[in-house]
Structure 1
Amino acid sequence: MPRKQRRYPLTPSSPTIKSPLPSPPIFASLSFFFSKETKMGRDELCITVPSLFHCPISLDVMNSPVSLCTGVSYDRSSIQHWLDSGHDTCPATMQVLSSKDFVPNLTLRRLINLWTSSNSSPSTADLEEKVMAWIEEINNAKPERCLDSIVEFASRGEVNRSLLASFDGFLETIVGVLSINGMQIRVLESVVRILSLILLENGVNEKLHKLILKSSSNSSCLPSFISILRNGSLESKMACFTVLESVTTNNESKRFIAGVENNFLPVIIHLIKIDNDNQELHDVVLSFLIAVSVARSIKSQLVQLGIVEVLSNMMSSKNAAISVVEKSLKILSMVCTCADGQSALSGDQKCAGAIVERLMKVSKTATEDAVVVLWSMCCLFRDEKVVEKVARSNGVTKVLLVMQSEVGEGNYVRRMCGDLIKVLRFGCKNVGGFSGAVSYETKTTHIMPC
């Protein structure tokens, strides 16, 4: 059976020692390790039960360890039940037992008792005292000394994260680090990592929204996020997007973050251009762009920065994750309603073909987004270039399939598909000049650009 290590409220796991009765040298080395682990636990307020103390069957700390002839130790009740059930093998090694007798492992029992008595869970008062000490260190302009410990502490469990989120002054102190000029990138990464870990705690989003976007004293937080996006690790970059998306709770905050004066969108587009193979990063970036693209000015800025070409390349990639493709289609459906977006879609050599290729291969919502883009360009704006690209990409067949998959006479996607079929059939007959596409007058009025 696989052995599983359980973690409790304090450090790195211990090496597995399979000998049931350690010889004096091994016992001495184990004692050294044990004292070291206890010291680390008290320092970091986190305990990891040494794997040696777990019963391989129950995975709990052994109360009465006994050893089989194979040399593996088990809790007495667990191995007794195993043998009484008719098994004649060692559960850990699956060796056939030459004898079902077992002997108490007194040495291991003494070690477990010593460990138990030396490592009790820290009290709430101890934890609060530690958090207060961290706050004082940060306020004394020495954040690098404790931020790694805070990250580790927050990673250990829900209770720790809840304590940090609710502790008076903790969030204000942590966010304040982001407004310090010239702070080391490693420090900024730790701060963003801490914020991403406690985001789901009650009231954190609302507090962060005020601290990062509303408070004049912290108005310089955004440059720190930009610094991480330019020079930070992949993990910290993704944490940045998670935090920023969580605080964009209204249109005002979205316009603020994506505003031209903050130079945020150019950094983001450059990021996904230079790191064009990381699907996980692309996924969080596109989610963020969808969240903030509420105003025509933001959409226009994205188009001018080359978002259409970037999304076209993403959709054309055979390795693109489905979620990335679907979010790309969502953004295209948003930007195709502005003049800059229409021009970029018309001028891109492969975007229309990539959209047609993805029809019926994505979710229903993403398929609807794709149809909206094609209908807007071919029917509403009557773009001959796009009509030609769609027609040459077997667009009629694909649109028919989408049309047949939709049910209900009142379905707007079905109606848009009908409009597209009319335009594309004219296009197929006039591949050279597309005069039919120009003369076609659509009477569809159910979708209008915002």
Structure 2
Amino acid sequence: MKEDEEVSQAVAAAAGRMEGEAVVQRLVEAVEEIAAISDFRNAYKKQFCNLSRRIRLLAPMFEELRDSREPISEGAARSLARLGDALDAATGLLQFGSDGSKICLVLERDKITKRFQEVTAQLEQALDGISFDKLDISDEVREQVELVHAQFKRAKERVDIPDAELYGDLSCLYDNSSNSNVNPEILARLAAKLQLNTISDLTQESLALHEMVTATGDPERNIEKMSILLKKIKDYVQTQNPEMGTPKVKAFFSDGKQKAPIIPDDFRCPISLDLMKDPVIVATGQTYDRACIEKWLDAGNDTCPKTQQKLQNTTLTPNYVLRSLIAQWCEANGIEPPQRPAKPAKQSSACSPAERANIDSLIRKLTSPNAEDQRSAAGELRLLAKRHVDYRIFIADAGAIPLLVGLLSSTDPRIQEHAVTTLLNLSIYDENKGLIVSSSAIPGIIHVLRSGSMEARENAAATLFSLSVVDENKITIGASGAIPALVSLLGEGSQRGKKDAATALFNLCIYQGNKARAVWAGVVPILLNLVMEPTGSMVDESLAILAILSSHSECKAAIGALDAAAVLIEVIRSGSPRNKENAAAVLLHLCTGEQQQQHLAVAQEQEVMGPLIELASSGTHRGKRKAVQLLERMTRFLEQKQQQQALPPATFSDEQGVL
């Protein structure tokens, strides 16, 4: 009977583990599905993006639970299952926002707002019901999840009403669909805010409108009224752009008789479809005619019209290269180049007119065919950008960033060094970070990091650290191949180079996806060597990075394979409070999972109990928690060892044979 009970218990335990693993896998897949949903409709873009971003921040917790060898308790599995239900509801809402009709989304404002409140409350309640103490997740991930929980708690108490003017305009047009006299200003606002500016936009909206209304079973009358509303917008847009539906746009000379050559698509403004007079780059990297994009921004829009991404800033950087190409094309085809509007430069900093003139002159020299001109100009801009925030603002506004990015590939080491260091100094001003990344600077910075002079490599690493402060940039930088180059600098650089590489790696490895990249690049043995260096100059940084990495299964395996436990225990015994904390965090991860017995045995041999007891009583807050958890594991390990030693020697039955 006893054996039957034990078998039943074992079966139940196995079933529980399988249930927990299934729940976690469901959560991982739900977040992946949500991450794949994009292109949210304009009216609710902020709300949809916030909901998606907060959910995606939960991914590291689900990944750690999936990679963990610790079983999930029945209660924790139930709590996670409730979170899975909440994620399913969120997926439906986000899919609705991505595929649905823009017009329908605005007119159904009250229903959509209520759904946002319901989904937000469901997610907050599900997170509130999870006991994180019972889950095997790292402190960093737990802190991130708790932050997301707090954001959902605040969001459920706040109602975000979308653009009231947009709702008013659409409602008015919808309620008076039979009225043929519509104010053109209303139609212009609707076309701009709903981003219905092309035949493609209007066709997509027509399909989405019919699919949504049909799927929800709305009466024919609603379909008809919304279709009439959409047709009015379409007629207005085509009136403003008569040739909008043609695949190529042709220009005419002023006499209206002679046709000009076909304008290349890249020379036309995506908003007006006309030849650009003053091309400028926005924060997403897209180029528009200055007059058109300024009108768009002045109307209160904060998105890129072409990509619909939220603009990190409203800085407009002159696209000198494209302006030059347009002028060359016009000259080659006998067309007078478009004249830029005569308007004063935007006052973006407190620089004097003389200072502005000097900076403009230096920027022009960056394009000089003479290497000495480039070298001296880049060097002076480097010093100016270091000196004051006003210079950082104006240098970027004047269009220096794309030109500096071009100089990163220079074969002249000093030009390369000045260019990357100027970008570093410019990036100190937060609004310039987006401009630098959108100017495709990251591949060039990585090129300098790999092959530049030591000073240039150090400053390239520091630039990547500065840019990676923005969470989205962590993903971009990691995916661009920066991590192997940073690991190389960490191992062979000067003291300053190692520090710069370590700070950049620390910041990048906060993003879960970059941790494995760092391990593949060979960072673990380098970090352990730095911990053991007699000078101890890199112990702080190395242990901090190891503490972040150790929460990832591949990273933990790499650390364990190098017999790191003895090194970590020595730090716990004699290191600084912060280093003791990080060493304990890494050791705790090693003592959890497949190889835990091996590491616990090493810990016993190194007589870790005394240092852990001391850390549990006098360490940092986090250090105390790690020490207590390690003491619990050590106690269980010692008890099991004593029980095994107390068991009588194994005997064999007659059937097994006698020795």
Common topology (TM > 0.5): yes
Deviation of 1:152 after TM superposition, in Å, equals 4.8
- Equivalences for residues 129-168 of structure 1 within 5 A: 129-142=357-370, 144-148=372-376, 150-152=378-380, 155=383, 161-167=388-394
SS in 2 for 1:183: coil
* Superposed displacement of residue 288, structure 1: 0.9
Alpha carbons 1:400, 1:421 under 8 Å: kept:
no
* Alpha-carbon separation, structure 1, partners of 2:376 and 2:492: 29
What is the distance in 1 between the residues matched to 2:602 and 2:372? 56
TM-score between the two structures when normalised by the length of structure 2: 0.40
- Give the equivalent residue in structure 2 for 1:393: 606
Mapping of residues 111-122 of structure 1, within 5 Å: none
Q: Is 2:430 the counterpart of 1:205?
A: yes
Distance 1:236 1:142, change over 3 A: same
Partners in 1 of 2:458 and 2:540 — Cα distance?
Answer: 19
Deviation at 1:426, TM superposition (A): 5.6
1:327 partnered with 2:327: no
* Same amino acid, percent of matched pairs: 18
CA-based RMSD of the aligned residues comes to 3.3
Amino acid at match of 1:343: A
State how 1:19-34 maps to structure 2 within 5 Å: none
**Would you say the 8 A contact 1:346–1:383 is kept in 2?**
no
* Aligned equivalent of 1:172: 399
- Output the CA distance in 2 between the equivalents of 1:421 and 1:165: 55
| Deviation at residue 348 of structure 1 after TM alignment | 0.6
Letter of the structure 2 residue corresponding to residue 179 of structure 1: G
Report the residue type matching 2:476 in the other structure: F
* Distance (whole Å) between structure 1 residues aligned to residue 398 and residue 569 of structure 2: 47
* DSSP-derived class of the 2:399 partner: helix
What code does the residue aligned with 1:385 have?
Answer: Q
Cα gap change, 1:392 to 1:409, in 2 (>3 Å):
closer
* Other-structure match for 2:453: 233
Query: Which of 526, 530, 539 is the aligned partner of 1:310?
Result: 526
Deviation at 1:393, TM superposition (A): 3.0
Take 1:337 and 1:172, find their aligned partners in 2: how far apart are those partners?
43
TM-score, length of structure 1 as denominator length:
0.57
Report the residue type matching 1:346 in the other structure: G
- 1:214-253 to 2 correspondence within 5 Å? 215=438, 218-219=439-440, 221-253=441-473
Structure 1's 302 and 373: CA in aligned 2 closer, same or farther, altered over 3 A?
A: same
The 3-state SS of whatever aligns with 1:289 is helix
Contact 2:424 2:459 (C-alpha < 8 Å) held by counterparts? yes
- Give runs of aligned pairs for residues 399-418 of structure 1, distance below 5 A: 399-406=612-619, 412-418=625-631
Q: Which secondary structure does the structure 1 equivalent of 2:366 belong to? A: helix
Please list the CA deviations of residues 292-344 of structure 1 after superposition, one character each: whole Å capped at 9, or x if unmatched.
113332111212222221111111111221xx212222222222222212211
- Aligned-partner SS, 1:179: helix
Deviation digits for residues 182-211 of structure 1, max 9, x if unmatched? 4224312111222334444xxx2322x222
Tell me how far 1:251 sits from its aligned partner: 2.6
Indicate conservation of the 8 Å contact 2:448/2:457, yes or no: yes
More helix by share: 2
In 2: Cα distance, 1:265 partner to 1:223 partner: 12
Kept in 1: contact 2:591–2:600 (CA 8 A): yes
Q: 2:481 and 2:531 mapped to 1: Cα distance?
A: 26
Counterpart code for 2:527: L
1:267 alignment partner, one of 476, 485, 502 = 485
Quickly say closer, same or farther: Cα 1:365–1:408, change in 2 above 3 A.
closer
Per-residue Cα deviation, 1:144-183 (whole angstroms, up to 9, x for no partner):
414435535754797x534531326566324433236842
> Per the alignment, do residues 280 and 139 of structure 1 end up closer, same or farther by CA in structure 2, a change over 3 Å counting?
closer
Q: Distance in 1 between matches of 2:447 and 2:391?
A: 25
Shift of residue 127, structure 1, vs aligned partner: 3.2
Shift of the 168–396 alpha-carbon distance from structure 1 to 2, 3 Å rule, reads closer
1:254 equivalent among 459, 466, 474? 474
The one-letter code sitting in structure 1 at the alignment partner of 2:464 is: L
SS, match of residue 139 in structure 1: coil
8 Å contact kept, 1:399–1:420 = no
Give the alignment of 1:332-351 within 5 angstroms.
332-349=546-563, 351=564
1:127 equivalent to 2:355? Answer yes
The one-letter code of the counterpart of 2:442 is L
Shift of residue 254 of structure 1? Answer: 0.3
How many angstroms apart in 2 are the aligned matches of 1:246 and 1:416?
35
Q: Deviations over 1:92-145 (max 9, x none)?
A: xxxxxxxxxxxxxxxxxxxxxxxxxxxxxxx94443332221111123455641
Matches of 1:181 and 1:327, distance apart in 2: 28
Contact 1:189 1:236 in 2 (8 A): yes
Displacement after TM superposition at 1:274 (Å): 3.2
Structure 1 residues not aligned, in runs of 5+: 1-122, 437-450
Distance 1:153 1:293, change over 3 A: closer
Tell me what 1:60 maps to.
none
Is structure 2 residue 574 aligned with structure 1 residue 354?
no
Query: Shift in Å at residue 227 of structure 1?
Result: 2.4
Which residue type is aligned with residue 393 of structure 1? Q
CA distance in structure 2 between the partners assigned to 1:409 and 1:367 by the alignment: 10
Secondary structure in structure 2 of the residue aligned to 1:196: helix
Counterpart AA for 1:206: E
Specify whether residues 205 and 176 from structure 1 end up closer, same or farther in structure 2 by C-alpha distance, changes over 3 A only. farther
Q: Residues 352 and 191 of structure 1: is their aligned pair in 2 closer, same or farther, counting only changes over 3 Å?
A: same
Q: What is the letter of the counterpart of residue 178 of structure 1? A: V
Instruction: Report matched runs for 1:39-188 at 5 Å.
Output: 124-142=352-370, 144-148=372-376, 150-152=378-380, 155=383, 161-167=388-394, 169=396, 172-179=399-406, 182-184=409-411, 185-188=413-416
Q: 2:424 aligns with which of 191, 196, 200?
A: 196
Which residue identity does 1:317 align to in structure 2? E
Instruction: Say if 1:222 and 1:174 are closer, same or farther in 2 by CA, change over 3 A.
Output: same
- Greater alpha carbon shift after TM alignment, 335-344 vs 398-407: 398-407
